[in-house]
Amino acid sequence: MEYGNDLERRRRSRQRRNSDRYQQQGCENTSRGKLSLIYQRPKEEKELTVMGFVGQRAENSYDWEYEEYEERQSARSDPKKKRPVEARKKKRKKKRKHLFLLFEFLVLLVVMTGAYYVLKFRNTGSGVWTIAIFGVDSRNGGVEKGALSDVEMVCSIDRETGEIKLVSVYRDTYLEIKEDGTYHKINEAYFKGGHEQAVKALERNLDLTIDDYATFNWGAVAQAIGILGGIDLEISDSEFQYINGFITETVESTGFGSYQLEHAGMNHLDGVQAVAYARLRLMDTDYNRTARQRLVIQLAMEKAKQADLRTLTTLVKTILPQLSTSIGMEDILPIARNLDKFHIAKAGGFPFSRGETHIGRRDCVVPLTLESNVIQLHQFLYGIEDYQPSSTVQQISAKIASDSGMGEVAENAPEAKIVGQRILEEASSQ
């Protein structure tokens, strides 16, 4: 009867796993020897109107249920009553279980060894992992060519020290966007040829070897910040005048509901509101907007450091499939497990020294000069003090100077200042 009861328990367990109410998302072995299954509950239709738009609350879009199933086998209440045949069956079963656990351990060992190899040896000889990050504004959710890249960043991660350095490449920067000698604003490279052309353009213009890339749309960012529980930052009076309009626009483009802010000053922002803040551009300049984008990334990373492993696993499994990226789970999980080690050490904008002018019919940011800016970039990202730009960069720099009429080396422009940055500055000083 005990054996029959076990079959019944397994039958009920299968029924529960196959229920239409739940969708299995993944599993992992916990340290207690239990099997942890992750399910996603169907989203509840809780409507919220934002300036005429009806959508789901962002916080209700991530209703995850975690269940742990205890090991099913337990000792018989009276071992003396065991029949010899049953004892032999249990011995064989126990042996099979041991063999299965051994196999599991070997598979895990192979996977972890592979992950270590990827993280240690796939990158440049300097030991720094260089990633190109693109954020696209697409109404249909597409993340390849045909979408303009609002965000272009180069990120370097030192795996030994945990230092992360972020450089925003201003989207209006006049550069060579294709090897055939086509020059345009740098965000046009992504529009014309997706991540492949955009990565090649960054490598040629900036003398970089980019190991990986990641492209996201704003919906994925809103969802990620929602999973982390939102961020706290200070909104200036001028930012407050425009942010509610951007919240409405972001609700309409992402499909996630939110609500409008009631005042300037300190605010707790959900995912949609944080994205709206990162997109603000009407009250000041694109330099300020890129500063807001970097601030959102920094604050989100600080929230991720405070999150437990379960939340981080949910984050990775939810967001990674939405990206266009060469980065896999084997790259992300080792960093997630040691997230406290990693920190954003520097953040800035490229070009460091710059001017603005019309080239054709376009308002462009002009590096003064590209060659001198590339020297600074390599010092910023990799600590190289005496970098010598390639002949390709020298040729592109001369062409930019000729097209713009601006070929003199200039002093670095001051970094854009935003009110919200004060939060991080105060935290770092403590």
* pLDDT value at residue 24: 39
Between CA 108 and CA 148 the distance in angstroms is: 41
Q: What is the pLDDT of residue 201?
A: 97
* β partners of residue 28: 36
CATH superfamily of 128-429: LCP protein (3.40.630.190)
pLDDT of the residue at 235: 95
Which of 281, 342, 367 lies closest to 155 in space, CA to CA?
A: 342
Pairwise CA distance, residues 239 & 273, whole Å: 12
Token pair belonging to 295:
């601030």
DSSP string, 351-395: -SSEEEEEETTEEEEEETTHHHHHHHHHHHHH--SS----HHHHH
Comparing C-alpha atoms, which of 270, 280, 196, 255 is closest to residue 56? 255
State residue 212's pLDDT score: 95
Spatial contact of 270 and 225, defined as CB atoms under 8 Å apart: yes
217 secondary structure, DSSP code: E
Beta strand 231-235 pairing with 148-158: unpaired
Nearest to 58 by CA among 276, 281, 306: 276
The letter for the amino acid at 141 is G
pLDDT in tens, the chain (430 residues): 444 455 555 555 545 544 443 343 333 333 333 333 333 333 333 333 333 333 333 333 333 333 333 333 344 444 444 445 445 555 555 555 555 555 544 444 444 434 443 443 343 334 789 999 999 876 556 677 777 788 999 999 998 888 999 999 999 999 999 999 999 999 999 999 999 999 999 999 999 999 999 999 888 999 999 999 999 999 999 999 999 999 999 999 888 999 999 999 999 999 999 999 999 988 888 899 999 999 999 999 889 888 888 898 888 888 888 888 998 777 776 776 777 888 889 999 999 999 999 998 899 999 999 999 999 999 999 999 999 999 999 999 999 999 999 999 999 998 888 888 765 555 555 4
The token duo for 97 is 């279980």
